[in-house]
């Protein structure tokens, strides 16, 4: 194992949104500095970081200057262009590693990888042309979902097929981008497990949370999830299997469908995850600190859950509820400092502690 990052070292974070912001706060608590790299103006993470670079992911000179100014690089979102990663990696290590990014950036690669580990995924097929889709519909059938292989998030880049008659519209929705067709999973609930691994191979998992989406965006995460003890163990084992297979360093989010036959893995996110925000008030060490500990080569912290929590995202006009929420007991507000409220924009979240 490499030496732990020394105190006062600087962690570079690609992406300046709320996840970067909460990572920067956790890093500061452990005595590290952070430097944010973000193309957009006024990134929420820059408010709480030591330094920020505003430049595009195609600006090789800016990327190299950023890499030279930091000791290690991590990221808050997975859709970073490969060329940008190459420029950085020639100078500083990136955690989680390139293989984790490559695997999770493409739904086809991701599903193939998960299946190769012996994990269950929805039936899927690679789709580029109309004839691919027609052939896949013969085996997978409907209902099913066509998803772009890359750059999808919060349900974007997806089209549902109720019958084969929807094929042409669904394909048009992909706008010529390569896609995968997925069989529709009749799940009883959706859960996610947030897990961490450090360079020594130590693994820590948070308790699985149960997720409810609204309009394709995460609405609430509830812990404990209403799943059996056996499934709880399965969630931990499968997360550990994925972490080890990727020789992963950092925090990983695994989204799962619960079915009467057990879990089906929906997708993995090589980063801290919205469904892990409950850990901020439900655990001794939360997902953000756990990620910083892992990439700094520290021992992982105690992620055991000491409270029941409901995390609710504050989206758009939900911000109007803040004055009332601020008066409530057992309620922890986490606001992202975004200047402009927009419909569908994640503005903050609230953790309701249940005793």
**Residue 71 or 182 having the CB closest to ligand AMP:** 182
Helix (H) or strand (E) holding 205: strand 203-205
Minimal distance, residue 145 CB to ligand AMP, in Å: 5
Q: 20 CB contacts (<8 Å, ≥6 apart)?
A: 13, 36, 38, 43, 44, 45, 49, 76
Q: Does 123 bind ligand AMP (CB under 6 A)?
A: no
Which ranges of the chain does DSSP label H, i.e. alpha helix? 18-29, 60-69, 82-89, 98-105, 107-116, 130-140, 167-173, 229-245, 279-282, 287-295, 322-325
Phi, psi of 215 (to 5 degrees): 50, 40
Q: Does 155 bind ligand AMP (CB under 6 A)?
A: yes
Minimal distance, residue 209 CB to ligand AMP, in Å: 13
8 A C-beta contact, residue 280 and residue 351: yes
Q: Does 135 bind ligand AMP (CB under 6 A)?
A: no
Minimal distance, residue 267 CB to ligand AMP, in Å: 5
User: How many chain residues are in contact with ligand AMP, going by CB under 6 A?
Assistant: 13
Per-residue x/- marks for ligand AMP, 199-238, CB under 6 A?
--------------x--x----------------------
**Residue 67 or 145 having the CB closest to ligand AMP:** 145
Q: What is the largest CA-CA distance in the chain?
A: 60
Q: 237 CB contacts (<8 Å, ≥6 apart)?
A: none
Q: Does 145 bind ligand AMP (CB under 6 A)?
A: yes
**Residue 183 or 250 having the CB closest to ligand AMP:** 183
Q: 45 CB contacts (<8 Å, ≥6 apart)?
A: 13, 15, 16, 17, 18, 20, 21, 23, 24, 34, 36, 38, 52, 76
According to CB under 6 A, which residues from 295 to 354 bind ligand AMP?
none
Instruction: Name the closest residue to ligand AMP (Cβ).
Output: 185
According to CB under 6 A, which residues from 160 to 199 bind ligand AMP?
182, 184-185, 190
According to CB under 6 A, which residues from 262 to 291 bind ligand AMP?
266-267
Minimal distance, residue 159 CB to ligand AMP, in Å: 11
Minimal distance, residue 170 CB to ligand AMP, in Å: 13
**Residue 105 or 266 having the CB closest to ligand AMP:** 266
Residues forming the site for ligand AMP (CB under 6 A): 122, 145, 152, 155, 182, 184-185, 190, 213, 216, 255, 266-267
């Amino acid at each position: 194992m490499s030496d732990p990052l020394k105190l006062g070292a600087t962690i570079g974070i690609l992406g300046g949104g709320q996840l970067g912001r909460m990572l920067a706060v956790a890093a500061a608590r452990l005595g590290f500095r952070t430097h944010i790299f973000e193309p957009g103006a006024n990134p929420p993470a820059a408010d709480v970081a030591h330094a920020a670079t505003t430049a595009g992911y195609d600006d090789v000179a800016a990327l190299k200057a950023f890499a030279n100014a930091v000791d290690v690089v991590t990221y808050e979102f997975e859709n970073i262009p490969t060329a940008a990663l190459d420029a950085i990696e020639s100078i500083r290590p990136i955690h989680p590693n390139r293989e984790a990014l490559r695997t999770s950036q493409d739904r086809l690669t991701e599903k193939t990888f998960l299946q190769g580990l012996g994990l269950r995924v929805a039936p899927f097929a690679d789709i580029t042309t109309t004839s691919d889709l027609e052939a896949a519909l013969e085996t997978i059938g409907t209902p099913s979902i066509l998803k772009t292989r890359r750059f999808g998030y919060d349900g974007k880049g997806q089209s549902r097929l109720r019958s084969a008659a929807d094929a042409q519209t669904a394909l048009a929705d992909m706008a010529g981008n390569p896609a995968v067709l997925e069989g529709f999973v009749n799940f009883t609930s959706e859960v996610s497990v947030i897990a961490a691994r450090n360079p020594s191979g130590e693994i820590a998992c948070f308790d699985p949370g149960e997720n409810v989406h609204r309009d394709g965006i995460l609405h609430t995460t509830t812990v404990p999830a209403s799943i059996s003890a056996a499934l709880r163990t399965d969630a931990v084992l499968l997360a550990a299997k994925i972490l080890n297979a990727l020789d992963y360093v950092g925090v990983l989010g695994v989204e799962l469908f619960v079915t009467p036959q057990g879990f089906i893995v929906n997708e993995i996110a090589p980063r801290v995850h919205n469904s892990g925000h409950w850990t901020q008030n439900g655990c001794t060490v939360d997902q953000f600190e756990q990620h910083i500990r892992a990439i700094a080569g520290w021992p992982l912290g105690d992620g055991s859950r000491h409270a029941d929590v409901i995390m609710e995202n504050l989206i758009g006009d939900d911000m109007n509820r803040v004055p009332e929420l601020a008066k409530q007991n057992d309620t922890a507000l986490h606001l992202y400092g975004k200047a402009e409220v927009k419909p569908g924009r994640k503005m903050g979240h609230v953790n309701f502690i249940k005793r």
